[in-house]
Amino acid sequence: MFEFLWKRKKQATQEVAREPAKTGTPAESGVAAGTQLHYDPSLVPNLVSDHRMLLGIFGEITAAMEQKNMIRTKEKLGEFGDALRGHLLKENVRFYVYLQHSLEGDAENAAIMDEFRREMQHIGKAVADFLHKYTAEDEWDGRMWQSFQQEAGGIGKVLTKRINTEENSLYPLYLPQQDYR
């Protein structure tokens, strides 16, 4: 009875299936070779914004530390850890994978990127160990506060240096596909 409905639907489906797939080189499509990652002009500004947020949280940790407010210090350490993990995940999945594939023909810049990535893995592990050490302890005595202050100072210096280096040396390597050729 309603066969006319089914005939039209089949024809429309068949027409779509016959349409050739639109393909091009990775540079033409804006996709990093070997991935489905497109250049995202907002990625680097978002990563820089993450850096500002991380530095702000770290400043709050320092302020809580100076007041010897353990509850606030631990709260901010947890917030810092969450923000750092989110930032590193974004950097690893979206930034480094895109860059790794985009720099396949550029051995010098690929080596620089690989070194940054390895170094960040070591820094990430050291920060994770630091966060665990000071969030797992229930009560801090004088020695624990002193140890925390020293380690926090070192983490702050490493973090600041790393952020400056990423923003000035690494992030400029992130370009649209057509700019790599």
- In sequence order, which residues have a C-beta less than 8 Å from that of residue 157 and are 6 or more positions away? none
pLDDT of 13 higher than 50: no
What's the average model confidence in pLDDT over 96-124? 92
* Domain annotation covers residue 11: no
What is the pTM assigned to this prediction?
A: 0.79
Q: Check residue 19 and give its pLDDT.
A: 39
Separation of alpha carbons 117 and 4, rounded Å? 60
- Output phi, psi for 38, to 5 deg: -90, 155
Domain that holds residue 147: 44-175
Report in angstroms the alpha-carbon separations of 39 from 32, 35, 112, 150: 8, 11, 20, 40
The verdict on residue 170 lying in a domain is yes
CA 149 vs CA 44, 67, 101, 130: distances in Å: 32, 12, 41, 11
Beta-bridge partners for 38: 31
What are the DSSP E strand ranges found in 1-159?
none
Residue 83 lies in a domain: yes
pLDDT at 74: 96
Confidence grade of residue 8 (pLDDT, cut at 50, 70, 90): very low
Is 8 within a domain?
Answer: no
Q: How many CB atoms lie within 10 A of CB 13?
A: 10
Residue 107 confidence (pLDDT): 93
Would you say residue 72 lies in a domain?
Answer: yes
In a domain, 30, yes or no: no
Find the mean pLDDT for residues 132-155.
93
Q: How many domains does the chain have?
A: 1
Contact between residue 180 and residue 102 where contact means Cβ atoms under 8 Å apart: yes
- Answer whether residue 12 is part of any domain: no
Q: Is residue 15 part of a domain?
A: no
Q: What is the pLDDT of residue 30?
A: 63
Is pLDDT at 24 greater than 80 in this prediction?
no
Mean pLDDT (the chain, rounded): 85
